Amino acid sequence: MEMSKDKTQKFVVKFFPEIMVKGTKAKRQMVGQLYNNLQTVLHKIDEKITVKKFSDKMEITCVNELIEQVRQRLKDTPGVELILEVLQFENVTTIDEIKIKANELMSHEIKDKTFVVRVKRSGTHEFKSTDIEQTVGGYMLAHNETKGVDLRNAEVTINIELVNNQLNIVTKKYRGLSGFPIGSQNSILSLMSGGFDSTVASYLTMKRGIKTHFIFFNLGGIAHEIGVKQVAYYLWNKFGSSHRVTFTSVPFDDVVTEIFKSTSEPYMGVTLKRLMVMAAEKIADEMKIDALLTGESVAQVSSQTLRNLALIDKVSNKLILRPLSTMNKPDIIEISTKIGTTRFAESMPEYCGVISKSPVTHGSFDRMEKEARAFNYEVLDKAVEDAVVVNVDEIDDDVNEIGQIDVVSDLSTGNYTVIDIRQSDDCIETSVETLKIPFYKLKSQFRKLPQDKEYLFYCDKGILSQLHAQFLRDAEGLNNIKVYRPEKNN
């Protein structure tokens, strides 16, 4: 019996149960899609990572140095239900071999604790799963100082799988994202504002296997666009990077001006939403996308009553999904916190929108039609015509082009202070004064620093640095910020 190479780690991935109950053709297609997705995202880490496909699982092997990165990618990939970290052995034929190896590897886990052994077995053997459980449990009980075996409420569960003559001893177990693999469903166009609701809605469709593109209606200038691009990139990179999606920015400032000219105040909010849906439909038609996505929740604001949502839907023939429609705000924020978008939403730059005085909460269909006839739709057509589309994976280059924030690689060329704006606790070491201010605290803390100095923002890929440097320059009028990108050989 030989153990896998000491310097490698094996993961066993179990599929989302709904995949397993599909018909043969659909199941094969979804498993194949998940296999392709895992290869895509894992090979971005290291092309030497191997992915093996089976009918009911996948096995991933990587070097030990990449365990944390691979584990996180597996946890964030739609379609994965369970991730097992296993030690694998071949040519195991007897219970005695199993009990000795299990005790050798797992005895440290059960010291002074209650434990139970659980076995899953497939193939032809002279013994049953219960025989293995009893033999291994009895052997480990006799050879270790424990609190005993507890079949119902054990503190430690020893998980063992025997597949023919292959022994897998599970050392750790993690819940996956569940859902369907991205690419197994069609595409959707998400109306993104960058706040809690639209980001959570986008996450939920990505989790369900829907390829989620983004559209943003710019009401407040470059700072807000940059903020929304930031969170769109985050969502794509974390949950959907197996596929390429787009980010469409539609200039809506002239549309807002026309609303003020032509629309009665109580109907301004609903009119704005209707025009966004109309514009999104035009873009979706060009992209051959059948459905739109919003983060609207019933009665959360005046434009989201059932009547007003009906008024909004009337302008489009597209299917409009609202996964948050019956969710409460605390539940939405809880999901946002879980997936890591809360800090983005909280630090999102404020923008100018249409704020109605005494907005209508139960709009009239007849009155809405009258208001709609007064609007000059040439303005909307021009906004759609001027829309700018970028691939989300190229947002870094796009932001560089928009913002043109100077990038510094050599710290000896000036009197700089580096600010590490990454969310993590670690801080980059440099040859100059270096501060740690996470990006979500920049808005409140940067102004407190001496403004007669020149600051360089630093993050792993330069995307957050570029975004927040641009925001502070535009919103606060600050010109003493650049981006620090060390040379690759540094």
- What string of DSSP letters covers 184-249? SS-EEEEE--SSHHHHHHHHHHHHTT-EEEEEEEESS-HHHHHHHHHHHHHHIIIIITTS--EEEE
Using alpha carbons, select from 20, 168, 180 the residue that is nearest to residue 84: 168
End-to-end CA gap in the chain: 45
Specify whether the CB–CB gap between 154 and 114 falls below 8 A. yes
Q: Is 230 among the annotated ligand-binding positions?
A: no
Q: Find the length of the chain.
A: 490
Tokens of 160: 């063992």
Q: Is 192 among the annotated ligand-binding positions?
A: yes
The active-site residue out of 62, 352, 427, 459 is 459
Specify whether the CB–CB gap between 138 and 57 falls below 8 A. no
Q: Is 304 among the annotated ligand-binding positions?
A: yes
- Euclidean distance between CA atoms 402 and 344, whole angstroms: 20
Q: Is 459 considered catalytic here?
A: yes
- Coil, strand, or helix at residue 296? coil
CB environment 34-66: b (16+ within 10 A), e (fewer):
bbbbbbbbbeeeeeebebeeeeebbbbbbeeeb
Question: Which helix (DSSP H) or strand (DSSP E) does residue 400 occupy?
Answer: helix 395-403
- Euclidean distance between CA atoms 213 and 189, whole angstroms: 5
Specify whether the CB–CB gap between 293 and 189 falls below 8 A. yes
Using alpha carbons, select from 251, 243, 232, 281 the residue that is nearest to residue 34: 243
- Coil, strand, or helix at residue 350? coil
Question: Which helix (DSSP H) or strand (DSSP E) does residue 369 occupy?
Answer: helix 365-373
- Euclidean distance between CA atoms 363 and 359, whole angstroms: 9
Instruction: Please list the residues that pair with 419 across neighbouring strands.
Output: 435, 457
Specify whether the CB–CB gap between 97 and 1 falls below 8 A. yes
- Euclidean distance between CA atoms 226 and 421, whole angstroms: 16
- Euclidean distance between CA atoms 315 and 466, whole angstroms: 38
Specify whether the CB–CB gap between 470 and 226 falls below 8 A. yes
Task: Give the HSE-up count for residue 116: Cα atoms under 13 Å, Cβ half-sphere.
Answer: 10
Tokens of 452: 């007669």
Q: Is 295 among the annotated ligand-binding positions?
A: yes
Annotated binding site: 191-192, 273, 295, 304
Q: Which residues are designated catalytic?
A: 459
Annotated binding site for ATP: 191-192, 273, 295, 304
